[in-house]
Structure 1
Amino acid sequence: MTAPAVRPITATTGAGQRGPVDHERRAQIIAAADQHFRHYGFNKTTVADLAKAIGLSTAYIYKFFDSKKAIGEAICTRCLDAISEQLRIIVAEPTSAADRLRRIYPTLARAGAELFFEERKLHDIVVTAVAENWHSGTNYEEELRRVVRELVVSGREAGEFETETPLEEVCLGIEETLWPFAHPLMLEEKLDKLDTATAAVAGLVLRSLRP
């Protein structure tokens, strides 16, 4: 899988980041970390390894990140942002809310499966991020909530979805049906039946939303 482009990091994007937001050294550190994590894995890579690969001192890297975890956060954010971007593209399309919601399920599942199959070392970072409530993981959850809410509101305004059930209850229910295809460990159990599973769940959800 081709690595997603490095996205600019703002001061609020991740925990443990220091120094100028757009400094080229920050991007260089992230790129080196990305390669090391892909090859050796997060747990087997040290800040000293990254410093050696870039030709910098360990102390200099700590000017931009306060720990290896903070660097891992930046890499994890890239992975999860790439998946979120695919969902945002679907949400913005000029089709029915039902069609867009139906497509969210397989898109989310396939993106996660691609990460699992082709970039297992990066998949392991995402597992850690979700399990330990890293900032990148919680941002990802919030993005899924925004996607769901926007589609439900759009469907209600267009008369596609029922409006009697409280909005928050509907959104929470849909989020729970999406989570097995978004959580890396839960998704792992469904890799051999993604197409049938996502189609079945999406169909069930959409039938429940009919006016």
Structure 2
Amino acid sequence: MATTETLTAERILAATEEVLRRHGAAKATVVDVARVLGVSHASVYRHFRTKAALREAVTKRWLDRTSDALSGVVDADGPAEDRLRRWLTGLFAAKQHKAGDDPELFATYTVLVGEASEVVDEHIADLTGQLARIVRQGMENTEFTPSDPATTARALFEATARYHDPAYAPEWSRADAEEAFTALLDLLVRGLRP
């Protein structure tokens, strides 16, 4: 089945996601991706030199969706405290949706994230960098006590890990998860105030 559409990296990544959803990380192959696209596997390899490179790229794409959605909160108007709350709440909500809306794909990506440590490290650096910008703005506006923004951001990220680290995904659907998250967020914000 040949295709007349131009083969792009984005089309390959979308097809890879479809294949991963259908077959899981253990069984998905480049040949499966090529079949979905109606091209040879050599065509896929022209864009991604190895299966590992393709898996890293699709993992990065998946993680970037969260980072991109949260970046708008960083640059929004309003008090830093409000933006910090929206950002952390947005991160929790994004992870809840990923786990709850498509559990098979979430499980697959959890496997891929375990394989792509450099991609994950970059993702965490991006997220903590966004948090650091909010913290820095809060310090500049005297909403938050002066400290090192990067260290504070990392502490906030680690303190809320239960609400965004995939290892805790089974707990995100608990009846009291939202209430517990809000209580933690209130405690953290109080600790930042002068």
* TM-score using structure 2 length: 0.86
Q: State percent identity of aligned pairs.
A: 28
Specify whether residues 194 and 84 from structure 1 end up closer, same or farther in structure 2 by C-alpha distance, changes over 3 A only: farther
Q: Partner of 1:191: helix, strand, or coil?
A: coil
List 4+ stretches of structure 1 deviating above 4 A.
Answer: none
Matches within 5 A, 1:176-187: 176-187=158-169
Cα pair 2:129 2:153 within 8 Å, conserved: no
Equivalent residue for 1:45, pick from 28, 53, 63: 28
- Work out whether 1:156 is the aligned partner of 2:139: yes
Q: Which has the higher contact order (CA 8 A, sep 6+)?
A: 1
1:171 aligned partner, one-letter code: A
2:25–2:112 contact (8 Å) kept in structure 1: no
| Structure ranking higher in helix proportion | 2
Mapped contact 2:21–2:108 kept (Cα < 8 A): no
Q: Distance in 2 between matches of 1:122 and 1:75?
A: 12
Number of the residue aligned with 1:101: 84
Letter in structure 1 aligned against 2:154: L
Q: Which is further off, 79-88 or 185-194?
A: 185-194
* Residues 3-40 of structure 1: per-residue CA shift (max 9 Å, x gap): xxxxxxxxxxxxxxxxxxxx743233222212111222
Deviations 1:60-119, CA, capped at 9 Å, x for gaps: 222221232322222222221111122111111111100111122221111111111122
Instruction: Give the TM-score normalised by the residue count of structure 1.
Output: 0.80
Letter in structure 1 aligned against 2:193: R
Give the match for residue 153 of structure 2. Answer: 171
**Which of 126, 130, 143 is the matching residue for 2:126?**
143
Q: Deviations over 1:45-70 (max 9, x none)?
A: 11111222222222222222123232
1:128 to 91, 111, 122: 111
Report the Cα offset of residue 168 of structure 1: 4.1
Inter-CA distance 126–178: structure 2 relative to 1 (3 Å threshold): farther
CA contact (8 A) 1:84 1:143 kept: yes
Which consecutive residues of structure 2, in runs of 5 or more, have no partner in the other structure?
Answer: 1-5
